[in-house]
């Protein structure tokens, strides 16, 4: 959820100048070394500390308070569920609790080395724990329980206590899965097709490491004969063993560099939640997320034990165009052009990706095992791959004789390396123009779950809806504020406008919503408030500070350099943007905003900018009042609000019985309550959403795009928030809309006979 403001060259150049004044600190010829090079780690600590102190908006003191925070965050990151370290380990580690600031300044790695080596030792021991636990059946008649509140749990005093913790956690997970398997089998015997909802069980927390998947149908019957309890119990243990083997396989692939990045980020997080170190691979992923494109073959991969499997071909990419690869194919070898192929079985997924990706126009040859078992070598010429899910999309809907447009922007994307590349500002302008050509009478702009992106694109997008004026104010440490303006007098859309937000709309999304709200240009609807991130980050390439490096790519630092403010002078930091119309949200009571993060920067305000409020808003107050009345009387919204309170209560329940009969009874009660809320997903507005002509034409030859858009249009028709946005657009029309009666949309829960 980060806003990058690379176009504000002035502040960035000042930072570079300051660092270069002390370039002698880092400008030395580095010696080559092993992959895990302590000298490289020391240099990273020195470089990061210096750049943060000189470039951060409000750098914290490197003192005992910082040391204490780093210690807490790092130990929690290493062992969040307290299933590896013993209390004796923590006692040994705690001697460093107030020394890490000194170690940071002196580039001392002794604490990291101690914890890293101890973690490897404890993880190796734990492999024996879970294999032993799963080697024999559980006794589910014993009256015992397990508490999943890992934060409050003490560390195990000894190995025996740690083994017992593993046993209970694994027993809980297998009990949950076994209950689901029995339910599926019972329903099948009754002729009922009823998909198991993992929300029914509700026993796995963030610290759990067992992949507890929904049981497959083949687990529950053989040749039509129901399996016994003992047979299902054995299948469940085998499934848990496989999941834990995969988990530990992944953990064993992590290198010392990966764990050192965890340590570094425990340090950077003490400055603020959005100051992070990016190892080279993470920096590349970040760039892709911002630009929405990369150079490669266009395939999504996943690791399955020692093998790399293709899970999806990205529409439009070279692998998709070639039609020789399929989801489910397993990649065995990779060759660069005419060179000898390299066997990748057992190789880390990140390393496999590095070999497959490459510059546009280059050749890669993949030896794959096809789904049918045949082995083929496939040549692919790499190209630029665009991740379609990153980009803006729009749809048209007509009701009561009036046509409206819906624009969804998942991210404020931009390609900083290519000024002529795609960016959200240009693409949204194009969508608005197409909607105008389609004859829409209002636009609903959806930025729910949009975590931000480029600030320059926000200015461009907000400028589409106003004549000209300030969009956002930006302040750097010790400097006067800077006001970013839309200077184009042209208004692309002057009709009714609604902006839809939720509690995950962050950063750039909040700037857009705030500007629209402050100008009274449109009505903001959604969660009580948005995420609350009012800070600006720069991504700084650390390699530029070293004259030459034989140690490879040093990665990058994303650090908070500025704060942004609404044009009314208030910050969006912590408080976010309050919706004009608050709509019930299933997750409204959960703590997931900026205000719930450690070290979040405080809220403040500055002087407002000078701007002229939109005058064509005489219907706003009545439209807002009418919407609030509709929501209060809408049974779907009332059910969502009730569900939100229930979810909040459920998150406070952490103690689970490990006795089969008691567990089943408790889960049955939860399931019965949850059934009441399952109908939320059955909602249907019966509205028909369609693509704009250019996209509809493309869908004729692109089956993948057609499938994605049809799924999106279906989700829009089932989205009560979008429906209420359209109701408000109705209310904002210059002439009253003749509304037809709306059918009751909530369905009763039905079970389908097979």
Residue 750 confidence (pLDDT) above 90: no
191-240 pLDDT, tens digit per residue, is: 765 544 444 444 444 344 444 444 554 555 555 688 999 999 999 999 99
Could you write out the DSSP letters of every residue in 177-229? Answer: HHHHHHHHHHHHHTTEE-PPPHHHH----TT--S--PPPPGGGTEETTEEPPH
Share of the chain above pLDDT 70, in %: 88
Q: Determine the Cα–Cα distance for residues 528 and 515; give it in Å rounded to an integer.
A: 17
Is the CB of residue 585 less than 8 Å from the CB of residue 502?
A: yes
- The answer, yes or no, to whether residue 586 has pLDDT greater than 70, is yes
Give residue 292's pLDDT: 84
Q: Tell me the percentage of the chain whose pLDDT exceeds 90.
A: 65
Arithmetic mean of pLDDT, 619-648: 96
Dist. CA 539–CA 721, nearest whole Å: 35
113-127, 343-357, 621-635: least confident range: 343-357
The predicted-structure confidence for 427-451, as pLDDT tens digits, reads as follows 999 999 999 999 999 999 999 999 9
**Distance separating alpha carbons of residues 567 and 466, to the nearest angstrom:** 14
**Averaged pLDDT for residues 501-509:** 96
HSE-up (13 A, CA, CB side) for residue 201: 23
Q: How far apart are CA 470 and CA 611, in angstroms?
A: 7
pLDDT over 80 (residue 374): yes
Is 749's pLDDT higher than 80? no
Does the structure show a pLDDT above 80 at 585?
yes
According to the model, what pLDDT value does residue 741 have?
52
Paired strand residues for 473:
483, 565
Contact between residue 490 and residue 431 where contact means Cβ atoms under 8 Å apart: no
In the prediction, which pLDDT does 474 show? 96
pLDDT band at 166 (very low <50, low <70, confident <90, very high): very high
Taking phi over 0 as left and psi of -120 to 50 as alpha, with beta for the rest, 298 belongs to left
DSSP string, 109-144: -HHHHHHHHHHHHHHHHHHHHHHHHTTS---TTS--
Which element (helix H / strand E) includes 671?
A: helix 660-678
Q: How many Cβ atoms are within 10 Å of 57's Cβ, its own excluded?
A: 21
pLDDT band at residue 419 under the 50/70/90 scheme: confident
Tell me the average pLDDT across 621-625: 97
On whether the CB atoms of residues 275 and 558 are closer than 8 A, the answer is: yes
Tell me the DSSP string of 294-322: EEE--EEEEEETTEEEEEEEPTTSHHHHH
E strand residue ranges, 30-187: 145-147
According to the 3-state scheme, what is the secondary structure of 505-556? CCCHHHHHHHHHHHCCCCEEEECCECCCCCEEEEEEEHHHHCCECCCCCCCE
Give the span between the Cα atoms of 229 and 226, in whole angstroms.
Answer: 10
Q: Which of 455, 483, 491, 389 is nearest to 705 (CA)?
A: 389
Going by pLDDT thresholds of 50, 70 and 90, the confidence category of residue 316 is confident
User: pLDDT digit string (tens) for 380-417?
Assistant: 999 988 888 889 999 999 998 999 999 999 999 998 87
């Amino acid at each position: 959820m980060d806003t990058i403001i690379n176009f504000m060259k002035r502040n960035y150049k000042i930072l570079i100048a300051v660092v270069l004044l002390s370039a002698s600190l880092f400008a030395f010829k580095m010696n080559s070394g092993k992959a895990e090079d302590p000298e490289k780690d020391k240099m990273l600590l020195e470089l990061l500390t210096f750049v943060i102190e000189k470039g951060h908006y409000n750098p914290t003191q490197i003192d005992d308070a910082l040391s204490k925070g780093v210690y807490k965050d790092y130990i929690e990151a290493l062992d969040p569920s307290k299933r590896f370290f013993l209390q004796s380990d923590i006692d040994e580690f705690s001697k460093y609790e107030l020394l890490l600031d000194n170690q940071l300044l002196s580039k001392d790695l002794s604490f990291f080395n101690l914890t890293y080596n101890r973690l490897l030792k404890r993880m190796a021991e734990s492999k024996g724990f879970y294999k032993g636990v799963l080697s024999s059946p559980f006794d589910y008649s014993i009256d015992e329980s397990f508490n999943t509140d890992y934060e409050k749990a003490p560390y195990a005093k000894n190995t025996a206590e740690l083994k017992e913790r593993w046993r209970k956690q694994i027993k809980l997970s297998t009990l949950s899965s076994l209950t689901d398997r029995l339910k599926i089998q019972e329903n099948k015997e009754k002729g009922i097709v009823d998909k198991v909802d993992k929300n029914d069980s509700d026993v796995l927390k963030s610290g759990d490491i067992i992949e507890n998947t929904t049981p497959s149908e083949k687990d529950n019957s053989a040749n039509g004969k129901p399996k016994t309890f003992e047979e299902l119990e054995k299948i469940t243990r085998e499934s848990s063993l496989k999941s834990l083997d995969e988990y530990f396989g992944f953990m064993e692939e992590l290198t010392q560099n990966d764990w050192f990045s965890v340590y570094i980020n425990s340090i950077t997080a003490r400055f603020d939640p959005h100051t992070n170190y990016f190892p080279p691979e993470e920096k590349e992923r970040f760039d892709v997320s911002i630009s929405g494109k990369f150079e490669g073959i266009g395939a999504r991969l996943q690791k399955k034990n020692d093998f790399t499997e293709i899970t999806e071909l990205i529409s439009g990419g070279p692998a998709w165009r070639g039609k020789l690869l399929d989801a489910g194919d397993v990649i065995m070898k990779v060759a660069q052009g005419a060179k000898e192929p390299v066997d990748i079985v057992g190789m880390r997924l990140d390393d496999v990706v590095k070999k497959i990706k490459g510059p546009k126009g280059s050749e890669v040859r993949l030896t794959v095992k096809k789904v049918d078992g045949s082995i083929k070598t496939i040549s692919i010429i790499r190209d630029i791959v665009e991740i379609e899910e990153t980009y803006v999309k729009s749809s048209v809907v007509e009701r009561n004789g009036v046509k409206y447009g819906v624009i969804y922007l998942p991210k404020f994307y931009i390609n900083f390396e290519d000024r002529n590349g795609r960016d959200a500002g240009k693409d949204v302008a194009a969508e608005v123009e197409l909607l105008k050509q389609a004859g829409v009478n209002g636009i609903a702009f959806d930025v729910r779950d949009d975590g931000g992106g480029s600030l320059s694109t926000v200015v461009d997008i907000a400028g589409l809806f106003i004549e000209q004026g300030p969009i956002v104010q930006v302040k750097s440490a010790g400097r006067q504020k800077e006001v970013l303006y839309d200077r184009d007098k042209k208004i692309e859309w002057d009709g009714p406008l609604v902006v839809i937000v939720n509690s995950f709309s962050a950063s750039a999304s909040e700037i857009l919503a705030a500007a629209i709200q402050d100008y009274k240009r449109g009505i903001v609807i959604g969660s009580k408030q948005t995420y609350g991130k009012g800070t600006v980050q720069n991504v700084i390439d650390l390699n530029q500070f070293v004259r030459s490096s034989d140690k490879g790519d040093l990665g990058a630092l994303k650090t908070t350099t500025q704060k942004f403010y609404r044009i009314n002078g208030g910050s969006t930091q912590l408080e976010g943007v309050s919706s004009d119309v608050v709509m019930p949200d299933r997750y409204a009571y959960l703590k997931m905003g900026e205000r719930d993060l450690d070290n979040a920067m405080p809220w403040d305000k500055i002087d407002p900018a000078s701007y002229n409020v939109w005058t064509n808003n005489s219907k706003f107050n009545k439209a807002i009042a009418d919407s609030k009345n509709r929501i209060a009387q809408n049974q779907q919204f009332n059910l969502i609000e009730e569900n939100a309170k229930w979810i909040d209560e459920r998150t406070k329940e952490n103690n689970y019985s490990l006795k089969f009969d008691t567990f089943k009874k408790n889960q049955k009660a939860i399931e019965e309550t949850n059934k009441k809320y399952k109908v939320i997903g059955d909602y249907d507005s019966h509205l028909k959403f369609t693509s704009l002509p250019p996209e509809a034409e493309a869908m004729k030859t692109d089956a993948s795009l057609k499938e994605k858009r049809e799924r999106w249009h279906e989700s829009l028709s089932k989205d009560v928030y979008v429906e209420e946005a359209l109701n408000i657009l109705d209310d904002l029309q210059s002439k009253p809309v003749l509304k037809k009666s709306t059918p009751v949309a909530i369905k009763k829960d039905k079970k389908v006979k097979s």
